[in-house]
Structure 1
Amino acid sequence: MNIRKLIPEDAEGYWKLRLKALTTDPDAFLVTYHEAISKENPIEEYKKSFQSEYILTFGAFEKAQLVGVVTLVRETRQKIRHRANVVAMYVDDEKRGKGIAKSLLTEAIKVAENISEIEQLYLTVDAENTPAKQLYEKVGFQTFAVDKKAMKYNGQYRGEEHMVLFLEK
């Protein structure tokens, strides 16, 4: 397995994996599948974001196949530039249980530690996603808030846990 920062040429593979994520694990994401497919040109948007210095997306590859992703979004406002957010974490449901998610998260943390401004990483996780919460805790994230009715979709509420990791600098 190879983990690296995604480049514009990876946008189409990312888009396919993103759609699979929204189909297989819809509760794990704020965006719905229908919202995602209604975007005008998502592949071009991803090509641009993969060139941003503030949005760093990492992919896990088995051979040439993208099987997992995680994105680190740096804050740009002066008072919160010391923070970044971990978002859009997903590993192909057929590839889980092999340490891919931990490797992706470890890479994102390592990169964040090497960016002098970043001192804290934040993420939000579905309160019922026990495997994800356990992974985040294993690498050092701690829950600091729980929003019991954070999302409402089709009349059903879902809670979210907000977690933080203070980087050692």
Structure 2
Amino acid sequence: MAELVYLTIRKYTKSDNANITSYYLPEDQAIYTSLPQSVVEASLLDESQIPFVIYSADHLVGCFALHTHQAKMYGIENPHALLLKSFSIDARHQKRGYALKTLQSLPALAKQLISDTNELVLTVHHTNIPAQQLYSKAGFEDKGMRFEGEYGEELIFHYRLA
């Protein structure tokens, strides 16, 4: 019998600060992403970055940001694409289906945020095989686009919205 996963995915608010400061990722995972505190700080400097939090019951289990104008940095010419960045699930809450459920919820969330969004784009480090497999399972496609990131080659995954 499959366990049902209930999540609340919403924009970050200041009331999330206490939970964000106790967020945990081991170093071998943190090298691939930004911690929530950094995501929030970056959003204060750039309003095109919108931080989101993921809760299960009262527990902060994840975080990510949607960027409204940065997909073109990665060679994406589509002006209606949103960029997903800094997606992570707190290590204490991994292996419970939260990541997949969140990714499956993103198309509706993106449309709700900006109605003419027709594509989600994300980047993933070429050595982060578990994340690549997760993104593929959630319906994102690797169309062969690459770029040289700060720490090496990054793959660009796409999800076409209906």
TM-score interval for Structure 1 and Structure 2 normalised by the shorter chain: 0.7 to 0.9
Paired position in structure 1 for 2:96: 98
Q: Does the CA contact (< 8 Å) of 2:140 and 2:158 recur in 1?
A: yes
Paired position in structure 2 for 1:2: 7
| In 2, Cα distance between equivalents of 1:76 and 1:43 | 15
TM-score under structure 1 length normalisation: 0.69
Q: Which amino acid aligns with 1:101?
A: A
Residues 96-139 of structure 1 show CA distances to partners (whole Å, capped at 9, x for unaligned) of: 11110112222222111333221111100011212211111122
Q: Rate the CA distance shift 1:83–1:112 in 2: closer, same or farther, 3 A.
A: same
Q: Rate the CA distance shift 1:119–1:110 in 2: closer, same or farther, 3 A.
A: same
| In 1, Cα distance between equivalents of 2:40 and 2:29 | 24
Once the two structures are TM-superposed, the CA of residue 63 in structure 1 deviates from its matched residue by 3.3
Paired position in structure 1 for 2:55: 61
RMSD of equivalent CA atoms:
3.2
Q: Is 1:118 aligned to 2:117, yes or no?
A: yes
Q: Does the CA contact (< 8 Å) of 1:28 and 1:126 recur in 2?
A: yes
| In 1, Cα distance between equivalents of 2:101 and 2:127 | 22
Q: Which amino acid aligns with 1:3?
A: T
Residues 43-91 of structure 1 show CA distances to partners (whole Å, capped at 9, x for unaligned) of: 9847858xx6x444332223322111122121289x8541110011111
| In 2, Cα distance between equivalents of 1:117 and 1:162 | 21
Alignment of 1:16-165 (within 5 A): 16-17=22-23, 20-21=24-25, 23-29=27-33, 45=41, 48=44, 54-75=48-69, 81-114=79-112, 115-144=114-143, 145-147=145-147, 150-152=149-151, 158-165=152-159
Q: Rate the CA distance shift 1:162–1:60 in 2: closer, same or farther, 3 A.
A: same
TM-score under structure 2 length normalisation: 0.72
Q: Which amino acid aligns with 1:108?
A: L
Percent identity over the alignment? Answer: 20
Q: Does the CA contact (< 8 Å) of 1:81 and 1:117 recur in 2?
A: no
Task: Report the number of matched residues.
Answer: 148
Structure number with bigger Rg: 1
Q: Does the CA contact (< 8 Å) of 2:39 and 2:64 recur in 1?
A: no
Unaligned runs of 5+ in 2: 1-5, 72-76
- Counterpart secondary structure, 1:118: coil
| In 2, Cα distance between equivalents of 1:160 and 1:150 | 6
Paired position in structure 1 for 2:3: none
